Amino acid sequence: MRLVHAISATLFFALAACGQAAAPSEADAQTGTTTAQGGDVTGPERTAILTALQLRADGQGQVENECGERVTPQFSVADIGSSPGRVITFTIGGGPNMLTCYGDGSLTILMRQNNGAWGEIWQGQPGGAIVLSTQHNNGNDIATGGPGMSFPVSQWNGTTYVNANRTVSDGALGDARFIPN
């Protein structure tokens, strides 16, 4: 993760030096991890999400990523609007091969419980989720990426997130919240 943060900081300063707008650094970005839907992710929620994603944690809580490396996934509650309800962000990075495994960021999956079962409602790789202020069906639109020039947008259709067939630029992010990865 430190390598990703160093690369992100380098890109931030490089874009700033070129006069390009850059995504806020992790230190000054608003985050989407506090919510009215409830605070911390519980142990049973973590276990159920891992099961839904067909992953099994070892005694240290590590799972195998797509590159066959043992890594520790991150879980946080994300506020993305009233209609999706309680949403948990599952983020998995890479070990020594992260750049070849996930590019310049981690794999981020938004999970939601529906009828007693956890299911994926959005997936972004690399760069994570950018929660926009615009909404569809009482769910915030989500852009994928960061930092960059423009980001693909997904919108809530009442059940899951679907491609909105539009992008948003760095300069138009305004009051967007970044779900840390």
In this predicted model, which residue has the larger pLDDT, 24 or 119?
119
pLDDT band at 180 (very low <50, low <70, confident <90, very high): low
Domain that holds residue 164: 2-179
**pLDDT number for residue 174:** 84
Place of tokens 């929660």: 131
Domain count, the chain: 1
Residues constituting the chain: 181
Q: Do 73 and 95 form a contact (C-beta atoms < 8 A)?
A: no
Model confidence at 37: pLDDT above 70: no
Model confidence at 9: pLDDT above 70: no
In this predicted model, which residue has the larger pLDDT, 97 or 44?
44
* Tens digits of residue pLDDT in 136-167: 999 999 998 766 678 899 999 999 999 999 99
Q: What is the three-state SS of 159-179?
A: CCEEEEEEEEEHHHCCCCEEE
pTM, entire model: 0.75
- Dihedral Cα 146, 86, 76, 50, nearest 10 deg: -100
